[in-house]
A and B are shown apart, each in its own frame.
Chain A
């Protein structure tokens, strides 16, 4: 019998292994069977790691065979996990879906990756992404786009599109992505899965190739809120290798999940809902979610974030500026692509980089270099950092009398492959709701609430919490998840299940 990951949650997998009903190896084989059955169409994986998976699975199976107690077996024992390809894992390549790192071997482990595996996760592979996380559709991958399991003609979102699609299609149970301006939450919404960006500093970024260091954060994808909380339990916490990771007392993020929405103060961000470009189906799904919260006993009010409209501008200065600095390390000397016939060191740098980086990476490096260059720094980077302060104040005002803020995750559902690739600005707009959260360092989760009335594709609702309020955000997310009872199984998986 082949294990169907679409039909099992992480706690169910662990319990079945503990009972002896399944082995971790069988579960890993379930992931590989699904990858074989559909990843030629979805293309979520850059690399499949059978040997690493079996090594981890065998450790779990050995523990069970030697009589490990329920307390001894780690919390995610035997759960298939996979990682965005900007996270290092020894024994895999870390390519960032870029030509410049196409053959880059990981020589150390990303802390979040190592923690998820230490918690019992079985690593099944590395996942496709927009090159260096620059994009909102995974079309900017040097290895070709990932396809949305809900409609293979459409994008999975991005930049962590592979991470979202892999969970949606049942090729992994929990995946990790990174989120600089929405790169976890937006693909989560497009693929109809739960996707969280934790508070800045909650999760170490050590070993994750940096995009914009004042914004980047690693977070999980899963089919359910409970699995999201379990993944966060495993990956969060201080890491001496990342000075931005914060030292806070251990919390169990599953603790308050079932407390319901009663008494929560939810603020619907109304001024952002009335922005241009918001699909009517997304707006109506957002209002419906607000009404559900009210019916569940939450105190639902309206709130405005007037400066958030400047978020996109601030982000497209700060993000590229920091990226242009971070990507300076790809110079053809220590790693990455190098031209063979350089006449001097400048020629080596310039041609190695121009050949190695794709069009969006070049665009962002150019934009960032310009914004930081002599004469423009104050007008761009300085001004953007001040705008950031104003956005943070808006959030502080909103959180003074709300526990959770509610917005759509993205203005539309998944768009067609190719639809926005010729217009960088149109693509950037799909992150308009998620970007202010990164600028303010808050935490937020995208919860799938149903299919859009017009597109019949998943709609995600973003629930935002103040710094380190993941517990209350996840509690609200669980209440919403229970109320909407959305079946996250995409048509592609139904078709495979019907054939089995």
Chain B
């Protein structure tokens, strides 16, 4: 699946971005299937905004974003796109606090109707990220670091061609970051999926094929 950005600029950031160079805003770019894209962005430059645009949560931009040459989606198409082709780890995680960590993961599996991932595999992922002990706890009482790892597992239990990551390791230490990056890379390799990661600083979590500065 291909993503094409055609001179997109966030309307709320028009003033702030004018006169400032960017590899992404107001550029014509195409991201091909299989690529691992890294976008470095200082605070306030619109990193989360870009992820929301790509995930079709917001439309307040000029220009156009095309997913496989398609710009607009019906509610049904959008639901299908999110359930089976694009997965995401939000910066603010977005777990249901009233559900347990495991239920949050199973919910995504159920929404995407993904029978390819078993409950045993989910537990194996949790073991890999060292969060098995909190699987039956309400997500609302888990630490940010634990919630972030649950959000990563949740993003990986659905079929996808693109994985959007918005500061996915911001609450994790180096060891946990390495384990999470390894898991993400393994699952993406299995699914032949692409990664688009935004972060504040340089990193070498993945073998990036393209690096941009926002």
Whether A and B are associated in the same complex: the answer reads no
Interface positions of B (Cβ within 8 A of A)? none
